[in-house]
Amino acid sequence: MSDTHIRKHGRAGQITLTRPRALNALTYDMCMAIEAALDAWRDDVTVDLVILDAEGEKAFCAGGDIAEIYRAGLSGDFDAGRDFWRDEYRMNAKLADYPKPIVSFLHGFVMGGGVGLGGHVSHRVIGESAQIAMPECGIGFVPDVGGSLLLARAPGRLGAYLGLTAARMGPGDALHAGFADLFVPEARWEALKSELAETGSVSALDAAAGPAPESPLAAAQGEIDTLFASDSLPEIKAALDAAEGEIAARAAKAVGRNAPLSMAVTLAMLARLREGTPDIRRALEQEYRVSHRIVEEGDFLEGVRAQIIDKDRNPSWRFPIEEVTEDRIAAMLASLGEAELAL
């Protein structure tokens, strides 16, 4: 059975992830199938909108399936990851720039690649079970799939907080941070999808929406803005270590656990995106510079080993905070020349 169920449903094109036992983790083939469907429906007059959803109760999509990239990297093959990310990022850009409405239904775990799939489209519906996060710094990577753009656009310093700590957002937090657009109780979803497909119009969304749940992040915005005010990782760590309270304590634990190089590069990425008017292409191009290098030159292999393969949760990062210099950060974000991401 395919890992995606792609079909026309009334006036809608519908893409359903059908890999619930793997938390609908995205494989390369799934990305290519989704892109092909988007290309086919772009000029199809029988398709007025696109619906993105997923089977299973636990996850819309918990991220990219990176085990194959890990195995290839161990053998010295760094092109496997580069090819995956290049083509996935192209799909992310198409989702963000699509000329027809795309409605994503975000439930359960929505992490990493799941944010790239459902987080850039025109209408992002979130349900009560959603847990959204960008957890890449915990595996020696950086927020990618355009996630750096969402983090850069988040209110105040929430982007730095979410990117460095990999904190999970419930539906209220996701709405506050700009990772979703409207809350609809999940019991109403199937009827809503049927109405969208029948009418080919997104007008039913506002009528179905319920009041936004409370956002703990909104309540903590001032404290987070103070703790994460700097674009310097050592300064953030010092602020967290000196502060009192539950938020600071949880954040300090996460910053002390995650990969220093990844966190420092993430801060630099977000700072660059906040300059001028950021867009999805600029974010993806910057992310690809890092992903092109991260398997060979960063902590990706060790992070995946510790968190996903061996699951000992005890990574030995290549660079401690004091060795993550400005030159090292700049090198990760430097132009790739002819290998730059072409969108």
Give the residue numbers marked as catalytic. Answer: 64, 113, 136, 144
- The neighbouring-strand residues paired with 12 are 9, 49
What is the C-alpha to C-alpha distance for residues 125 and 105, in angstroms, rounded to an integer? 5
Rounded Cα gap, residues 263 and 298, in angstroms: 12
Q: What does DSSP assign to residue 20?
A: G
Alpha-carbon torsion, ordered 167, 171, 175, 176, to 10 deg = -50
CA-to-CA distance for 121 and 35, rounded, in angstroms? 14
Cα 158 to Cα 171: distance, rounded to the nearest angstrom:
15
Distance CA 114, CA 143 (A): 12
Single out the residue of 285, 277, 300, 274 nearest to residue 333, CA to CA: 285
E strand intervals along the chain: 4-9, 12-17, 49-54, 59-61, 102-106, 109-111, 123-126, 131-133, 182-183
